[in-house]
């Protein structure tokens, strides 16, 4: 990760925060920890010399353009983009409102498009980069009450496979991959009922939920030079739950 400039979205807590810490420990030159929630970013302030919190909403296209311009002016490159920001608004289809649908599509799918479009232009200028987008086992296997979320997590896999081909044209070494976590201990899942948690653990061959660190390790691998010939793939990190 040495000399790499990285951008991680949804970095204020949960999986994103763990990814930032892993990248920092791995010696990245600078990690921009992007989150729309300023409060969440406070924990990162002045903690790591190579981490810079950046308040940014992945739905705000003009602000994203200004952010990328500023990073380009200072560093001239972005080597790694982790599209991790995501939200849920779960409901059975009969009860899912248009607002629930739009909100999740806007952050989880269009937000990924917004960030990638802005940053891949700079990666293309430099002829290299690694883009990792957070999918979910819900994007490969579906889940009750998550029509909106499943559509976005399946959608990012399809976009990523297209990007793996599109971004590597003319010899560019720009890779695009997804990580698909199973149920992971973060603030997103903290309200799952005890009965559901027990059933997840029972159905998982490795017998537990993922930690944010389990997921961050996979992201670090895909971001690093160790994965330099891996593109268009979906790395499931779910303890075998979907087998």
Site residues, ligand NAD (CB under 6 A)? 9-10, 12-16, 35-37, 40, 57-59, 84-87, 107, 111, 134, 136, 181, 183-184, 186-189
Catalytic one among 149, 163, 167, 183? 149
Task: Specify the residue, 126 or 140, whose C-beta has the smaller distance to ligand NAD.
Answer: 140
Does residue 48 carry a catalytic annotation? no
207-212-217-218 Cα dihedral, nearest 10 degrees? 80
Task: Specify the residue, 125 or 198, whose C-beta has the smaller distance to ligand NAD.
Answer: 198
∠ CA(186), CA(187), CA(192), 5° rounding? 90
Task: Specify the residue, 24 or 114, whose C-beta has the smaller distance to ligand NAD.
Answer: 114
**Bridge partners, 80 (sequence order):** 6, 130
Task: Specify the residue, 13 or 21, whose C-beta has the smaller distance to ligand NAD.
Answer: 13
Integer angstrom CA distances of residue 142 from 46, 47, 148, 209, 242: 40, 38, 10, 18, 11
CA–CA dist 203, 196 (Å, integer)? 11
The Cβ of residue 121 has, within 10 Å, a number of other Cβ atoms equal to 13
Question: Who's near 112: CB < 8 A, 6+ residues apart?
Answer: 58, 83, 133, 156, 159
Chain-centre distance for alpha carbon 96: 25
User: Could you list the active site residues?
Assistant: 149
């Amino acid at each position: 990760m040495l000399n790499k400039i990285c951008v991680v979205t949804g970095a204020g807590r949960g999986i994103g925060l763990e990814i930032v810490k892993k990248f920092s420990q791995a010696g990245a030159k600078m990690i921009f920890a992007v989150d729309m929630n300023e409060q969440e970013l406070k924990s990162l302030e002045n903690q790591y010399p190579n981490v810079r919190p950046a308040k940014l909403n992945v739905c705000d296209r003009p602000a994203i353009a200004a952010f990328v311009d500023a990073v380009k002016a200072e560093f001239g490159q972005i080597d790694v983009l982790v599209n991790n920001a995501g939200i849920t608004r779960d409901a059975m289809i009969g009860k899912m409102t248009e607002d629930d649908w739009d909100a999740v599509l806007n952050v989880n799918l269009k937000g990924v498009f917004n960030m990638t479009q802005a940053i891949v232009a700079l990666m293309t200028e430099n002829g290299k980069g690694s883009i990792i987008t957070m999918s979910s086992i819900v994007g490969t296997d579906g889940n009750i009450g998550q029509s909106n979320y499943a559509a976005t997590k399946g959608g990012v896999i399809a976009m990523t496979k297209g990007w793996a081909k599109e971004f590597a044209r003319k010899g560019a070494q720009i890779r695009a991959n997804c990580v698909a976590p199973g149920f992971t201990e973060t603030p997103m899942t903290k309200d799952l009922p005890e009965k559901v948690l027990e059933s997840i653990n029972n159905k998982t061959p490795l017998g537990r939920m993922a930690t944010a660190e389990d997921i961050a390790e996979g992201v670090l691998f895909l971001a690093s030079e160790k994965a330099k010939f891996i593109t268009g793939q979906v790395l499931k990190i779910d303890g075998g739950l979907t087998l």
